[in-house]
Amino acid sequence: MPVAAPETSLPAINGGPEIVNPIPADNPIGAILLSKQHPLLLRSDFSRVSELVSQIYQNSQFQPIWFTANRSEKNLADLLSILNSAPSNALNPANYDVDRLKQLISGQNPDSSTVASYDVALTVSLVRYLHDLRQGQVEPRDVEYPVHIAPKPALDLAGLLKQHLASQTLTEVVGQFEPKTKQYQQLKQILTRLQQMGNQASSDEFKPGKMLRPGDKHPHIVYLRQRLRGMGLLGNNAATDSKIYDNDLVAAVIKVQQQQGLTADGVIGSSTAALFNQSSSEKIAQLALAMERARWIPDTTDGPMIVVNIPAFELWAFNSIDDPNPLNMKVVVGKSPSNQTPVLWEEMKYLEFMPYWNIPKTIYEKEILPKAANNEGYLASQDIELVRHQNSEEKGGGSYLRARQRPGKKNPLGRVKFVFPNTADVYLHDTPGHAAFNRPRRDLSHGCVRVSAPEQLAQFVLGDQAGWDKESIKQAMSAPKTRHVTLKRAVPVLFYYGTTFVDHQNQLRFYPDIYGQDEQLKKALNKIQATTNSSSNNQLVMSKSTVVGANP
């Protein structure tokens, strides 16, 4: 049987203590663990989770945990129940061999070597599911777009599994691995409703068949009204049976057009009509991408938090997880495709009022130096100065000249920047050019995020810090000198890429895929599915003649 491409190595996310005892090669289970291959599974290579599976069998002295002398039928039934419930988390049971496991569990009196093979197959499938549920099916650090999020902290999967198998409470382990973030739970609730609804009947599809302008009359306007109300863009007091494309509808349609980067004129052509005509299956596919991304986000704790949704061009600042009135503002993000704002999770450590702009070398060489070469006074006219920077001993010592722009009206960072140290070297900041916030599509920066209401964001960040009220912040934002303010309490910052996103009013929003990251994620997920399908076809051919031994 062809062997699938090796899985990428798994970071320490669900692991327990390191393995101390070597895996015994002369033990049937140990032999399978050492090979990291299992021909009973559609994805035979289980190297990505092999360390976790080995930890589990170390706890059992490399003896079976499912097919024991006093095997628990409840534990086996619970295992199948867990894997069969994968669609509730937008995961595919076929990826966890649920049908094959049913056959193994119902098999008759297997010998000792076959028991070892069956037992490991069950364990690998469960571990894969719990890993995918907690961390995601796709390794975010392996995709082609910029992601700067560290793996979640380790959980002792081996210990938890031993505990729940002993108490026959296996289904309870799922809750410990399912993401706790509010965004994930909101997406899951909407997914459940859509799965229960099934595809909408074609009789209520919004297909006007012609261009609709404000004031036009059409029988399908009733369906448009239903869609907009479902999206939370139309009040319940609005008319329900009118067939006229009235002002309330026009205003709501314009908002959707703005979100999607279309011409916001309220005229409904084919592109706009398509936005209101998604089937439930299409929405479920979008939710699956959103839930995969939400699995990458660390579990949040209560307290202040800042979220930037990149394709929405918006920032939310929450005082708590359930803050009903978060601070909300427009933002400008990195330009597609060359200067994408990365997905990241960091902690804001400090603010700088009236900051210097340390000009990145690439920007200086490509944009500023050519202008300076043609104009001797250009650097001085832009308040740009060259300063000597001393390298640390870790970087080999020595020094070099770098360019920086002094604080002032010409400085692109404006009057304040909000800093959360990160490897991508991006941050939030003010800007002297506020006209850009009036554009419907705002991917215009070199990668940092410009905020439309910097004073309000500073008030949010410094809200519980003594000596910083609205007036003192305003003074600092107009002072002649730079002022560094360290936060007494760090504020988590999430840069998120959510083309399908649930807002704080629990409304599902759809945004344009400005960086093409949806397509990249689809390809990565489809690759997993293609491997499963390919292996399934191969196994169908072999299943009539192959006898499984202890050493796959």
Q: Which residues are catalytic?
A: 429, 448
CA 504 to CA 326: how far, in whole Å?
8
* 154 Cβ contact list (under 8 Å, min separation 6): 12, 13, 14, 15, 16
Nearest to 76 by CA among 101, 55, 54, 53: 101
User: Structure tokens of 185?
Assistant: 């739970």
CA 114 to CA 547: how far, in whole Å?
9
Peptide bond into 337 cis (omega under 30): yes
Query: What burial letters (b/e) apply to 393-402, b meaning 16+ CB within 10 Å?
Result: eeeeeeeeee
User: Structure tokens of 56?
Assistant: 């589990």
CA 237 remoteness from chain centre: 36
CA 36 to CA 51: how far, in whole Å?
9
* Distances from the Cα of 193 to the Cα of 18, 150, 319, angstroms: 42, 32, 29
CA 182 to CA 34: how far, in whole Å?
40
Question: Which amino acid appears at position 27 of this protein?
Answer: N
CA 87 to CA 195: how far, in whole Å?
9
